[in-house]
Amino acid sequence: MGAKQKEGVSLAGFLTRAATRLYCGLFGHQYYTVQRFNKYSRKIACGRCGSSFAMDDFMQVVVPWSDDFEHLYYVVYGFKKRGNYEKDSNSKQ
């Protein structure tokens, strides 16, 4: 038999993700709202490539999502981390 591949990693999957990201880079993302934090701020994602972004309407900016944004929105607004869409009941407003 051939050489062993790492578990969960395939060439076809890698090429598909790379082609999808290239397509989004050339023609734009298909955004949808994942979580709304206030009137102007939200977490959005691309339905095609799966990338996540922080969006602020007031500043008119879209930037790649990072753990720093999760921490910021958790501290400032009391939202739970990792995709929980309801406010943390233990947080103080």
Q: Nearest-CA neighbor of 28 among 51, 5, 3, 6?
A: 51
Structural domain spans, the chain: 29-84
Q: Three-state DSSP class for 90?
A: coil
pLDDT at 46: 93
Residue 27 CA to residue 20 CA, distance in Å, equals 10
- Token pair of 21, please? 């990201």
Chain Cα centroid distance, residue 1: 39
pLDDT beneath 70: ranges in the chain? 1-8, 79-93
pLDDT at 1: 44
pTM of the model: 0.67
